[in-house]
Structure 1
Amino acid sequence: MSKATRATKMLEGAGIAFTLHSYAYDPDAESTGLQAAEALGEAPARVLKTLMAHVDGKPVCVIVPSDHEVSMKKLAAAFGGKSAQMMKPADAERITGYKVGGISPFGQMRKVPAAVEEQALAHDLVYVNGGQRGLQVQLRPQDVIALLDARVAPVIA
């Protein structure tokens, strides 16, 4: 497994401190976020999943604890929109340049607005996908927000 991805290069380029953690990715897992948390021996609330959605037809990135679902109503409100829906996997892969299960909010092919669930700030360190299946980066949630210029909002159901 390569440890250098567009995501890790973006973090390094920004001077953000992070540690890499690899694990055995299970493509058959019901929830890749929960599977990552279990494999890493971490609480699911600290392992954040990166999801791609549309708000009023425009792509957005939303980062939430792996043990929660996104509220479409709250997601739309976070971006000042009327409606939201999850992006189709093929569209998410095309926009991000990453494979589903390995989508990182960092180093995406197209910069899109991002939102981070406010509960992520309750932790000193969180895990976010590092740009490939089975690779997580551990860093401060404040660094995630700053690097992505993300809005912090209540977006979980």
Structure 2
Amino acid sequence: MARKTAAGTPALALLAAAGVAVTTHTYEAPGVAAYGTEAADALGLDHARVFKTLVAEVDGKPVLAMVPVSGQLDLKALAAARGGKRAVMANVAVAERLTGSVAGGISPLGSRQRLPVVVDESALGFATIFCSAGKRGLQMELAPADLVTTAGATTAAVAG
């Protein structure tokens, strides 16, 4: 079910305040482990168009990385994109504490702590992309350029 919304999560409130057009899509979230592919399948979407938000650390500093749910994060590419030497995935507890969201519901916008965001450049090939709106079972659809601008993100080839 798609609907336009003004708020509901910190991510959606931030987009509304910025005047960004966004459509939300709700779905049943079984929450097994592959949250992104669950969202894509439940909404009948191409996996390349649905992006997962991952929390990593580059040289000990947290960063959010967005890659298609069909792929994985290339940690070496992420480190290079951030001008660092080494990147590692943050553990789930750290990710949830930094963002204020549960795994499977982490959004690139509206985190408890503002974190740098790197979006895989493949996003720019779509008119709109999907990503978590800040909770499981809620995806937001928006133009990738709007996401990049609102998040103050950079784009780079970080999907493996």
Specify the TM-score bucket, using the shorter chain as the normaliser. Answer: over 0.9
Q: 2:122 aligns with which of 109, 119, 125?
A: 119
Whole-Å Cα distance in 2 between the matches of residues 107 and 27 of structure 1? 21
Q: CA deviation at 1:76?
A: 0.3
**Partner residue in 1 for 2:61:** 58
TM-score (normalised: structure 2): 0.94
Q: Distance in 1 between matches of 2:70 and 2:147?
A: 19
Shift of 1:31: 1.3
Structure 2 unaligned residues grouped into runs of 5+: 1-6
Any residues of structure 2 matched to 1:1-157 within 5 Å, and which? Answer: 4-28=8-32, 30-157=33-160
Deviation at 1:135, TM superposition (A): 0.1
Q: Provide Cα deviations, 1:32-64, integer angstroms capped at 9, x if missing partner.
A: 111100001000011110000000000000011
CA–CA distance in structure 1, aligned partners of residues 110 and 36 of structure 2:
19
Report the alpha carbon displacement of residue 82 of structure 1 after superposing the two structures with TM.
0.2
State the 1:81 CA deviation. 0.3
TM-score normalised by the chain length of structure 1 = 0.96
The aligned amino acid for 1:115 is V
In structure 2, the residue corresponding to 1:99 is in which secondary structure?
coil
Separation in 2, partners of 1:65, 1:74: 15
Quote the offset at 1:93 in angstroms: 0.5
Offset at residue 26 of structure 1 (A) = 1.3
Matched residue SS, 1:11: helix
Distance 2:31 2:111 in 1: 21
**Which of structure 1's runs of 4+ aligned residues deviate more than 4 A?**
none
Work out the CA distance in 2 between the residues paired with 1:148 and 1:27.
26
Aligned residues: 154
**Structure 1 unaligned regions, length at least 5:** none
